């Protein structure tokens, strides 16, 4: 079920993008927007400077669209994210071969893909992709939660409580919010708890819409919770 105000990358949208009309073009644009940041982070972790990674990200999505690769995505074979990562890795390999051929032929070199620039303890490009995807999912969920609060006339309260979605407030925090909004501390605590529950529902909805098997939602959400705490190269 799609949650109110939550723009998701549903399989229905992915399948709709296989057409040749204006609606399919819009679906493709939304897909590219949803996954651009994880793709960019993956390429940055491969050793590319930001400008080079930006260019290659654009090239990857142009390749994805021109070759209609998204039409090969199958919800029965796993998440769209896994499909996209596989396509990205194949694209990088092709770029490495192209660069190598250009070197041998004396052509101009614009892209150098080199994972060796990172220390051995650094996360792999695949881990970076997964982490940034997780951060992107959570960010969209928070945006949806903010929109729901605004629609309910509680934008100001959400602004005050939003920082407690990931960090537990102390007694002083509760006291400040209680005084500002004329709420008891217990009411504030309940509001924070409900926001956290709603956030998890939104995250689960996003994850579920990109999986072929709904039974994998819990594992995906746990993976997101484990991943969101680390920064990514941007």
Domain that holds residue 67: 11-227
> Where is mean pLDDT largest: 72-86, 139-153, 212-226?
139-153
Q: Does residue 96 contact residue 115 with C-beta atoms inside 8 Å?
A: no
Residue 146 is predicted with a pLDDT of: 96
CA distance 155 to 145: 10
* Residue 234 within a domain: no
CA distance 124 to 130: 10
* Residue 108 within a domain: yes
pTM above 0.75, yes or no: no
Q: Does residue 20 contact residue 221 with C-beta atoms inside 8 Å?
A: no
- Is the pLDDT confidence value at 232 over 50? no
CA distance 42 to 46: 7
Number of domains in the chain: 1
* Residue 76 within a domain: yes
* Residue 5 within a domain: no
Residue 196 is predicted with a pLDDT of: 93
* Residue 45 within a domain: yes
Split at pLDDT 50, 70, 90, the class of 230 is very low
* Residue 118 within a domain: yes
Task: Catalogue the long-range contacts made by 210-215 (C-beta closer than 8 Å, 24 or more residues apart).
Answer: 210/8, 210/9, 210/10, 210/11, 210/79, 210/80, 210/81, 211/75, 211/78, 211/79, 212/11, 212/74, 212/75, 212/76, 212/77, 212/78, 212/79, 213/78
* Residue 215 within a domain: yes
Split at pLDDT 50, 70, 90, the class of 108 is very low
* Residue 162 within a domain: yes
Range in 78-82, 147-151, 174-178, 189-193 with the lowest mean pLDDT: 78-82
């Amino acid at each position: 079920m799609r949650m109110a105000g939550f723009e998701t990358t549903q399989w229905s949208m992915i399948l709709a993008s296989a057409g040749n009309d204006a609606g399919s073009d819009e679906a493709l644009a939304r897909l590219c927007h949803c996954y651009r940041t994880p793709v960019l982070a993956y390429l940055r972790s491969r050793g590319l400077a930001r400008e080079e990674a930006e260019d290659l990200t654009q090239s990857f999505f142009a390749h994805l669209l021109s070759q209609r690769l998204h039409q090969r995505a199958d919800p029965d074979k796993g998440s769209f994210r896994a499909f996209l990562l596989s396509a990205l890795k194949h694209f990088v390999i092709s770029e490495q071969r192209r660069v190598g051929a250009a070197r041998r032929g004396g052509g101009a070199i614009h892209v150098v893909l080199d994972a060796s620039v990172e220390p051995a303890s650094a996360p792999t490009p695949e881990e970076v992709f997964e982490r940034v995807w997780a951060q992107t999912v959570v960010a969209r969920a928070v945006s949806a939660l903010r929109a729901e609060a605004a629609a309910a006339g509680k934008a100001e309260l959400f602004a005050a409580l939003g920082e407690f979605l990931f960090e537990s407030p102390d007694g002083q925090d509760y006291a400040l919010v209680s005084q500002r909004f004329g709420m008891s501390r217990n009411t504030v605590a309940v509001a924070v708890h409900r926001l956290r529950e709603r956030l998890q529902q939104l995250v689960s909805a996003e994850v579920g819409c990109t999986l072929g098997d709904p039974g994998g939602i819990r594992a995906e959400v746990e993976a997101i919770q484990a991943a969101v705490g680390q920064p990514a190269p941007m």
